[in-house]
Structure 1
Amino acid sequence: MGTNTFHLLIVELPEPRHAQPITLLRTKVGVRLGEGGISKGHIAPEAYARALHTLAGFKEEIELHQVTDVRATATSAMRVTSNGPELVKDIFAQTGIRVEVIAGDREAELICAGVRRAVALGPEKHLIIDIGGGSVEFIIANEQTIFWKQSFEIGAQRLLDMFFPDSSGVFPEAAVAAEQAYLQQVLAPLAAAVQEHRPVGLVGASGSFDSLADMQLGRLRTEAELPPSTELALESFRRSYAQLLTLPHDERAALPGILPMRADMLVVAGVLIDYVLMLTGITHLRTSAYALKEGLLAEMLTS
């Protein structure tokens, strides 16, 4: 249960247990839990209601598929808001689903475990990024080891609230400069880690990176269509980023491959990605359709 999107993954475990799980359902809902409140430290009433409505729908799917083991996790929006614990209680009261609110470090570990199922990292160090609505996780890892990880509460909804409150128009140059200056200040630990570990490639997990891969393709793919990993050409990112910066909301939302819900968040996420590329000098980009939920599944399969 992310700050922007809620995901539901239902799998069947075949016998023997070491065989690959069979995916029965993979779906997501744009709940926008952080909209209108996360920057003020609470979940807004409309977002709160959307969350309960979505979980009621998920509960129906869970019952329909006769699921025997349910794990639910929540991230930044429930981690930092004053009424997050209340929402956890209401979800349990209305659906019987127990929600575990996880810390940023734990979120980063699970994201890394999910990415490793999608991308063959090999022995070389990579920088993994997951841009959520509330937080952004950075992990430097190879196929076996996490060398450094940190979660920052600078997700796309927060960046929108700070730098692009009226997102109907074009993102002003001054706002780009202001966001870059803010990132330079907040992401000093990332700069130090990159200096120490020198990652050779960047892997972007789900969300904004899936949208950039869809823009590269020129069409919106469904959850079922997404391959585990996609090469994202640097030139394609640059082209998409330029479009996002120079178009007003309606034209951004109409671009091939963009979910209208992401049309504004992608702008501030693009500034963040551009800043990280500038900081690291990385030119090889890949996306991972797998992230936290696949990491949680991987952990459940090995426990």
Structure 2
Amino acid sequence: MTTTHHRRLALIDMGTNTFHLLIVELPEERHAEPQVLMRTKVGVRLGEGGISKGEITPQAFARALHTLQAFQEEIELHQVTDVRATATSAVRVARNGSELVQAIFEQTGIRVEVIPGEREAELIAKGVRQAVPLGDERNLIVDIGGGSVEFIIADEATIFWKQSFEIGAQRLLDMFFPDPSGVMSAAAVAAEQAHLSVVLAPLVAAIEEFQPVAVVGASGSFDSLADMQLGQLRTEAELPPCTDLAMSSFQNSYRQLLSSTHEERKAIPGILPMRADMLVVASVLFDFVLGVSGITRIRTSAFALKEGLLAEMMK
């Protein structure tokens, strides 16, 4: 009896807040779907304490290495044949980002590719298309990361516009909510909105030009908003690819986030404790986007960058 060796891929997305690992087995037939063997995420908080200073702190550096070593064990366990690892905003801008990439390679043999924001946006769009049927309507895809935020206006076939902004939730937290143990003040909310209206002028212009009719929110913050709507925290594997997020649900969640302290936020059903504070500033940002676009139809996508990479590799 001979065993056939299937190609197994591991995709690693090293985000500023969360590291993701996706392990799939590629099908023999060209058009079959890859089989997911493992899907997991770890809250590494790579940007905590240092992203606004342009460095990865020693603690965050150690957490990142530790996580990649754990990922490497899973990769060996699953007899993976190909590994693709990408790093985004935190590693892109940190003075010691290349040291981390080097240390990861020396200790795990994993080669990390640091990708620019434009490439990140493109991969996110490809990932979202695997989860959400965009059809021939123009959708505004929003991915609020810990370090950067990507906006893409696209339908099923075409990307009309895309841009990455270094205004992720960890940066916004550092700027506008430095003591997230309490309630975010109205003044801080107004300050964040004022900042966004300056920085996101290109987005406002693009919305005007391309007139998207719906919004798709991808990854972390939106997984949390979908979980809050359900009132239940789900694992990476339990999330459906696409969720309809009621406008009323977002508004309720937003009000609740704005009126609660850190301890109260952590206790809200559906919230991952490590995301509790970032979710406040991320929701202010999302509320700003809904305001400038006038869009009321919201869907969330559980797929983002790593699924985009997979889709690209399957082509």
1:51 partnered with 2:64:
yes
1:169-197: per-residue Cα shift (whole Å, max 9, x none)? Answer: 00000000000000000000000000000
Instruction: Find the aligned partners of 1:246 and 1:5 in 2 and give their Cα distance.
Output: 26
| 2:180 alignment counterpart | 167
Instruction: Find the aligned partners of 2:27 and 2:288 in 1 and give their Cα distance.
Output: 44
- Letter matched to residue 272 of structure 1: L
Residues 43-82 of structure 1 mapped to structure 2, 5 A cutoff: 43-82=56-95
1:140 partnered with 2:171:
no
1:204-240: per-residue Cα shift (whole Å, max 9, x none)? Answer: 0010000000000001011111000000000000000
| 2:271 alignment counterpart | 258
Which contiguous aligned blocks of 4+ residues in structure 1 show a shift greater than 2 angstroms?
none
Instruction: Report the TM-score, using the length of structure 2 for normalisation.
Output: 0.96
Instruction: Find the aligned partners of 1:67 and 1:299 in 2 and give their Cα distance.
Output: 18
Q: 3-state SS of the aligned residue for 2:265?
A: helix
| 1:42 alignment counterpart | 55
- Letter matched to residue 36 of structure 1: G
Q: 3-state SS of the aligned residue for 1:97?
A: coil
Instruction: Find the aligned partners of 2:30 and 2:46 in 1 and give their Cα distance.
Output: 36
1:154 partnered with 2:163:
no
Correspondent of 2:126 among 85, 107, 113 = 113
Instruction: Find the aligned partners of 2:210 and 2:129 in 1 and give their Cα distance.
Output: 19
Q: 3-state SS of the aligned residue for 1:93?
A: helix
- Letter matched to residue 151 of structure 1: S
| 2:4 alignment counterpart | none
- Letter matched to residue 204 of structure 1: G
Instruction: Find the aligned partners of 2:78 and 2:31 in 1 and give their Cα distance.
Output: 22
Residues 1-303 of structure 1 mapped to structure 2, 5 A cutoff: 1-302=14-315
Unaligned runs of 5+ in 2: 1-13
- Letter matched to residue 136 of structure 2: P
Alpha carbon RMSD of aligned pairs, Å? Answer: 0.4
Instruction: Find the aligned partners of 1:17 and 1:6 in 2 and give their Cα distance.
Output: 29
Instruction: Find the aligned partners of 1:170 and 1:290 in 2 and give their Cα distance.
Output: 31
- Letter matched to residue 138 of structure 2: K
**CA apart distance, 1:17:** 2.7
Unaligned runs of 5+ in 1: none
Instruction: Report the TM-score, using the length of structure 1 for normalisation.
Output: 0.99
Instruction: Find the aligned partners of 1:153 and 1:136 in 2 and give their Cα distance.
Output: 6
Q: 3-state SS of the aligned residue for 1:256?
A: coil
Identity of aligned residues (%): 77
